[in-house]
Amino acid sequence: MGKYNKLAREIIENIGGKENINSLAHCVTRLRFKLKDENIANDDILKKLDGVVTVMKSGGQYQVVIGNHVPQVYDDISALIDIEQLNASQQDTQKPEKLLNKAIDIISGIFQPILGIMAACGMLKGLDALFVATGLYSGSSGGSMVINAIGDALFFFLPLFLGYTSAKKFGLKPMLGLVVGAIMCYPGIQASAVSSGNDAIYTLFQGSMFAAPVYIDFFGIPIISIDYTGTVIPVILAVFFAAKCEKVVNKFVPDLLKFFFVPMLTLLIALPVAFIVIGPLATFGSTAISEFVFSVRNFSPVFAGIIVGFTWQILVIFGMHWGFIPVYINNIMTMGFDNVMMPFFACTFATAGVILAILIKTKDKKMKEMSLPNFLSSIFGVTEPAIYGILLPLKKPFIISCIAGGIGGGFYGFFNLRKFMVGGMGIFELPAMIEPDGALGNLIVAVAGIFISMLAAFIMTMVAYNKKEAAVYEGANEAAVAVIEEEKTRSLAKEMIECPIKGEVLSLEDIEDAAFASGVLGKGVAIKPSEGVVVAPVNGEVTALFPSLHAIGIKSENGVEILIHVGLNTVQLEGKGFIAHVKQGDMVKQGQQLLDFDIKEIQQAGYSIVTPVVITNSADYLEVAENKKGHADRGTKLLTVIF
């Protein structure tokens, strides 16, 4: 049983149970469910779970944001629902999706399983480049060769890995997908034909950007010479086609022969088509897209960098950034570097700069507790906890992080920041920015951009984030943060709510009733009465008086809606022990007697007399502040509602 078994069970329960899950994957910080019916999921309850940051719905996925420990939560959920069998069995039962949602889901599903390993291998390649550049050891040394091989193997044989993950996504037997990837890396077909020294038979599309030499043919059909090692799109499309072929072949091959004839015929049909049609078309498509992207970038590298830097965090919120991962990887694999998507590198440090400023300026204890780990997480390239936990709820800091990201992105666009190998996140990406010849100019640009992004974000936040701002968190697991902004030119409007019952004032979260304690019914306090009299806490109208007389609702002259709920579960007394002095619709004055209740009778019946007093429309106000703890008399200032 894993460390997060309890959380895993609660998540499964509140997304509608195992039977509501079509599939599940995870990325760096979030679980990505495909649900049969998203309406069944309890969004509000999930957001309040201890260990959940927030819930998002995007790209056809129901995303539960967990944070850095998402792999452990994923493992515990997988053990409870048998994820392998579930993903396989649900392959053909999913509802049709919008094209964009489906594309993002496919891309994320293919890359997520290898993302962590890819980052690790990229870091090793980057560290090797750094050590060679700084003279720690020679690039021709055995140590360098081994470390580089460890880091480079995944990228060289990337089609094998993508063949496997694509097969699982498209419903092809995973081992067949692996074979498709291996065949596309097989040297005897592409690389050896090109390096044999023989002249090309002829060149197709000569004189265009798609000019392609032909060295071999397949029974007279030309095979365009392309080296598929390290490529992305061709193998994904080839596996997709193979998955379709397997389903067709499976229908016609007798059961007795399926074991070996189905894979044999699938490969025999799919691979020639892949080499003759799919691979070249995918390569030409990638070439056309690259040319278009670079033409836009060449028009204004600064503007392109600003756009990428400004919008990246917005894409991250919705999980849409996955749609650009293939562009980034394809550029590095085909050209040896990426400078189109790299301006996003500024965003993680812009976020860190905003969080650092908040950490310094805030007076709120919980905000400080959250800021430090979120700052470190952002430096290491994981910004979701900071985005959902602090920036989005506070709104203004999120906008600042986008602006600072755009500033850093524009700087990177102007100085043509490049990344030469895939891998690493945050500061761990820096070694991958050392130029192949060991020059450090590009790395200096990267470091300078970090300081510019962080400094811009820090200064703007220090200026814009008022010291009088306070954030009150409704629980460590809620992403929502209510912020009080005091204007310098005037005082905030406020209404005082007086204590309606004499007794001991308790924190709402400490009472036994989960609905009141969670704050879902509104902010407020609880009172343990020492006498059985309820008076009006404000001037206003009696908007509700339950037939059981155990609860009364009042709307103040300023629109504040107050619920006084005498005891817990006392509705079951059906009015016994309660006397009402008003009726629904009556106008009342502050201090006017509303109810009498018999404390002993309620307790003898086995019910708690603890009485929640909550503002049911709390979300309409900047803050509901507690003014009193301990003993309070009727008429004492109990709550302050700030407009």
Q: Give the C-alpha separation, 596 to 600, whole Å.
A: 12
Q: Which helix (H) or strand (E) holds 523?
A: strand 523-529
CB atoms within 10 A of CB 325: 18
Q: Which of 26, 347, 565, 631 is catalytic?
A: 565
Q: Give the C-alpha separation, 68 to 426, whole Å.
A: 14
Do residues 210 and 282 make contact, with C-beta atoms less than 8 angstroms apart? no
Count CA within 13 A, CB hemisphere, residue 435: 11
Do residues 150 and 128 make contact, with C-beta atoms less than 8 angstroms apart? no
Please state whether beta strands 561-565 and 630-632 pair in parallel, antiparallel, or not at all (unpaired): unpaired
Active site residue 69: no
Q: Give the C-alpha separation, 369 to 579, whole Å.
A: 47
Q: Which helix (H) or strand (E) holds 272?
A: helix 258-273
Q: Give the C-alpha separation, 358 to 367, whole Å.
A: 8
Active site residue 565: yes
**In sequence order, what are the residues at sequence separation of 6 or more whose Cβ sits closer than 8 angstroms to the Cβ of residue 5?**
76, 80
SS3 letters across 323-376 = HHHHHHHHHHHHHCCECCCHHHHHHHHHHHHHHHHHHHHCCCHHHHHHHHHHHH
Q: Which of 27, 185, 347, 402 is catalytic?
A: 27
Question: CA–CA distance from 346 to each of 23, 388, 413, 601 (Å)?
Answer: 33, 19, 11, 66
Place of tokens 């070249």: 280
CB atoms within 10 A of CB 107: 19
Question: CA–CA distance from 228 to each of 189, 409, 532, 533 (Å)?
Answer: 10, 32, 81, 81
As given in the structure block, the two tokens for residue 207 are 């004189």
* Catalytic (active-site) positions: 27, 565
